[in-house]
């Protein structure tokens, strides 16, 4: 028997939400020097999915995305960026949902709202990995991080959405506080470099990277040092938010 929350959504969602519109979020985190994405394991299927949801009749679309985000991560302050609408009529697969819900004991009529065509608004979010408490939604049996270089099969066009988000991340690197939102408050230069390398999927020269980042004057070097590593202890930095914001306005003229 399907849980009540799922039945509720299925049978009263039509009036509760704007029809034909959904939201999908690509939530990025950074951990172990790797870029991670928060994914959900769909119940009764081998596919995974992006965190998503619907929009309340009087809800700001950005607000709806925030709601989805906070339901999956437990976080309230989240860097969120709309990046593209996916509107092909065949992007939704009625068979998929019908199959999945049948196994939950829920039979949908042909004209059920969930089986209709959905236009989805893609958001990407940047969160600090260690603050996140992943929580599955009622379609899913599990929620957690996956390495961006090791993504399982995703349902529908979620793979395309993810790729598109990654591409957007590259373009936004010089214009949005991406480092700030993905890294912990204090971090080392090699960490920041690794983040840039991962997003750009490109090796960067250690020394030139450092010099360039420093030249932007968006970092404050702390007295402290990262201990515990097996080698020379790197300095810790934190973002100088005031300068960072100012610099991002015109873009960090970076040919990376």
Partner DNA sequence: ACAAAAGTGTTACTTTTACACCCATGA
Partner DNA sequence: TCATGGGTGTAAAAGTAACACTTTTGT
Polymer length in residues for the chain:
256
- Choose from DNA, a copy of itself, none: what does 109 bind? Cβ within 5-8 Å by kind: none
Q: In 111-157, where does DSSP find H-type helix? A: none
**How near is the Cβ of 63 to a copy of itself at its closest, in Å?**
9
The DSSP code for 140 is E
Judged by DSSP in three states, 122 sits in strand
**How near is the Cβ of 56 to a copy of itself at its closest, in Å?**
9
**How near is the Cβ of 70 to a copy of itself at its closest, in Å?**
18
- Choose from DNA, a copy of itself, none: what does 210 bind? Cβ within 5-8 Å by kind: DNA
Q: Give the DSSP H/E element, type plus range, for residue 199.
A: helix 189-200
Cβ-based nearer residue to DNA, 89 or 228: 228
Cβ-based nearer residue to a copy of itself, 124 or 187: 124
- Choose from DNA, a copy of itself, none: what does 57 bind? Cβ within 5-8 Å by kind: a copy of itself
Q: Could you give the CA distance from residue 68 to residue 46 in angstroms, rounded to a whole number?
A: 23
Q: Give the DSSP H/E element, type plus range, for residue 196.
A: helix 189-200
Q: Could you give the CA distance from residue 208 to residue 206 in angstroms, rounded to a whole number?
A: 6
- Choose from a copy of itself, DNA, none: what does 46 bind? Cβ within 5-8 Å by kind: none
Query: Residue 64 is encoded by which pair of tokens?
Result: 């709806």
Query: Tokens 């049996």 appear where?
Result: 141
Q: Which residues bind DNA (CB under 7 A)?
A: 188-190, 205-208, 210-212, 215, 225, 227-235, 253-255
| Closest C-alpha among 120, 22, 23, 124 to residue 80 | 124
- Choose from DNA, a copy of itself, none: what does 238 bind? Cβ within 5-8 Å by kind: none
Cβ-based nearer residue to DNA, 12 or 201: 201
**How near is the Cβ of 89 to a copy of itself at its closest, in Å?**
5
């Amino acid at each position: 028997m399907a849980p009540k929350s799922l039945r509720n959504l299925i049978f009263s969602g039509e009036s509760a939400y704007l029809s034909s519109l959904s939201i999908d979020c690509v939530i990025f985190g950074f951990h172990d020097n790797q870029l991670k994405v928060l994914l959900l394991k769909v119940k009764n299927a081998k596919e995974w999915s992006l965190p998503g949801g619907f929009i309340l009749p009087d809800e700001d679309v950005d607000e709806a995305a925030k709601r989805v985000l906070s339901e999956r991560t437990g976080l309230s302050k989240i860097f969120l960026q709309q990046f593209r609408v996916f509107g092909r009529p065949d992007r939704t697969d009625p068979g998929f949902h019908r199959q999945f819900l049948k196994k939950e004991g829920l039979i949908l009529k042909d004209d059920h709202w969930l089986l209709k065509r959905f236009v989805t608004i893609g958001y990407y979010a940047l969160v600090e990995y260690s603050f996140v408490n992943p929580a599955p939604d009622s379609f899913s049996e599990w929620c957690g991080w996956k390495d961006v270089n090791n993504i399982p099969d995703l349902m529908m066009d979620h793979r395309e959405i993810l790729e598109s988000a990654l591409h957007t991340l590259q373009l936004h690197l010089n214009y949005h506080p991406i480092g700030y939102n993905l890294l912990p408050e204090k971090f080392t230069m090699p960490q920041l470099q690794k983040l840039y390398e991962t997003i750009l999927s490109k090796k960067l020269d250690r020394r030139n990277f450092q010099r360039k980042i420093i030249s932007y004057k968006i970092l404050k070097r702390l007295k402290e040092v990262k201990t515990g590593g097996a080698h020379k202890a790197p300095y810790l930095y934190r973002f100088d938010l005031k300068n960072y914001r100012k610099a991002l306005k015109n873009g960090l003229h970076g040919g990376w």
